[in-house]
A and B are shown apart, each in its own frame.
Chain A
Amino acid sequence: MACHFCDSLHDVELIEEGQTAYCNTCGSILYANKPQSLERAFAFGLTGVLFLLGMLFLPFITMEAQGNNLTTSAGETVIRLWLTGGPIISVAVAIFIFILPFFQLASLIYLCLPLLSGRAFPGMVPVTKLMQGLQSWVMVEVFFLGTLVSLLKLIKLADITLGLGFWSMVGLMLSLAAAVGGIDKLELWDRIEVAYRRRKTPDVSVEGGVEC
């Protein structure tokens, strides 16, 4: 394989679970053998989807100020944002916080479930590409930091109670990190290639073996 940063050509050696291979030239990570990778990615992916639903629909925050009482879920917050004059921002929030994370988790589940038993589902190659492309654009953890900063502002204006929706967001942030970080990119591609080869479809060409 070649290093993603400096293009140095390396021979791929088998490494034990929990070990990581680094590039000899520039020191970047080449590949890693993560323990129980498929099981973990699948389990955390599923957990993440549940937390995402919780974040969308459960009460996120309750504010009380001068007799006004307001309880909203994160989903409602985006709708309120649309209505109060920030349509572009509300679409951006919906995309970065709900839609892209959902696609990322859904593709991870779609890939890991059949691979657990070594099977290949149709369209695995485009789904993996989609998942990788979304990587930089999922911003749940940035939103979390934004929520903390806003809370510090809001505390001065009203009495704040955090609801289950808020804790779902924390859960979503952690499961996303665990799910995506749970499996190495090269391992995933190797497993897909092996699964397709077992099915003997021409969808993935296999000349040259499993070397990556």
Chain B
Amino acid sequence: MLASAREKNKVSCHTCGRINPLEKASCLRCHTPLHSRKKNSVQRCLALSLASIIAYIPANIWPIMIVTNLGRTEESTILAGVATFWQMKAYPVAITIFIASVMIPALKLLALGWLCALSAGWIETNPRRANRIFWLTELVGRWSMVDVFVVAILVALVQLGNIMSIAPGTAAVSFGLMVILTMLAALSFEPRVIWDNARQSASS
């Protein structure tokens, strides 16, 4: 394991990557305020994850779409939508929506919790594995927005007067909020802390 910039009394700029002396308050090249480690990363990440869990509940309980078909109104939740596609034998669509709207958010929250526990030092693992999982968490987060966009397109296009119309449900907004909150949680997480812990246990 190579020595970290911090151990050498340096700090690398989060924005432009320039190496600065540790005591500098802002980057010599791009003037961004410098932090050797993001401040309170575990608390922030946990707080934002918790907020997104709170938004995740109404997102799954309330209807995401309200379909009016010849005067008959039908409300459907995310899971009901997946089930409908499955019954229609549209398996790829059902699987896509299930992965993007149900699995990714849930796995992402689990991953963030696990990463926070790692940085707090409650559990230990190979830091390389933690690194890969963090990278994956950052990568897949945005794809959960897919369901919100589907609702947006259907609502805008299916307005056939009395025959059929689709309105967005309350879950659409809470679901979007949940995705944004998990993205912010991933952004506030600091992977370097896990490596600091690994360096410390390697030297002691």
Contacts and interface: CB of A to CB of B under 8 A. Distances in A.
Interface of A: 1-2, 4-10, 24-28, 31, 61, 63, 65-66, 68, 70, 72, 77-78, 80-81, 84-86, 88-90, 92-93, 96, 125, 128-129, 132, 136-137, 139, 142-143, 145-147, 149-150, 152-154, 156-157, 185-186, 189, 193, 204-205, 207-208, 211-212
Given A189-B16, A211-B19, A85 B168 contact: yes
B192 interface: yes
A9 B3 contact: yes
Nearest to A86: B168
A139 B145 contact: yes
A83 to B, nearest CB: 9
A9 B28 CA distance: 18
Interface stretch (B40-48, B51-59, B113-121, B151-159): B151-159
B160 A6 contact: no
A24 B195 CA distance: 13
Contact of A6 (B10, B131, B176): B131
A129 B160 contact: no
Contacts of A211: 18-19
A96 B146 CA distance: 12
Interface in B1-21: 1-6, 8, 10, 12, 15-19
A88 B151 CA distance: 12
B25 interface: no
A5 B157 CA distance: 43
Interface of B: 1-6, 8, 10, 12, 15-19, 28-32, 88, 90, 93, 96-97, 100, 127-128, 131, 134-135, 138, 141-143, 145-161, 163-165, 167-168, 172-173, 176, 183, 187, 191-192, 195-196
B17 A63 contact: no
A85 B154 CA distance: 12
Contacts of A5: 131, 134-135, 191-192, 195
B146 A80 contact: no
Contacts of A70: 157
A147 B148 CA distance: 11
A77 B149 CA distance: 12
A212 B16 contact: yes
Nearest to A196: B29
Given A8-B1, A25-B1, A212 B17 contact: yes
A89 B168 contact: yes
Contacts of B183: 136-137
A2 to B, nearest CB: 4
Nearest to B5: A2
A5 B137 CA distance: 13
Contacts of A81: 152, 155-156
Contact of A205 (B2, B28, B127, B168): B28
A6 B192 contact: yes
Contacts of B152: 77, 81, 86, 89-90, 92-93, 146
A212 B168 contact: no
B195 A26 contact: yes
Contact of B29 (A7, A66, A147, A193): A193
Contacts of B6: 7
B155 A86 contact: yes
B131 A7 contact: no
B195 to A, nearest CB: 4
A69 B193 CA distance: 58
A65 B173 contact: no
B3 A8 contact: yes
Most chain A CB within a 10 A radius of its CB, from B127, B156, B158: B156
Given A6-B127, A8-B3, A9-B3, A136 B187 contact: yes
A10 B168 contact: no
Contacts of A24: 2
Contact of A66 (B8, B147, B163): B163
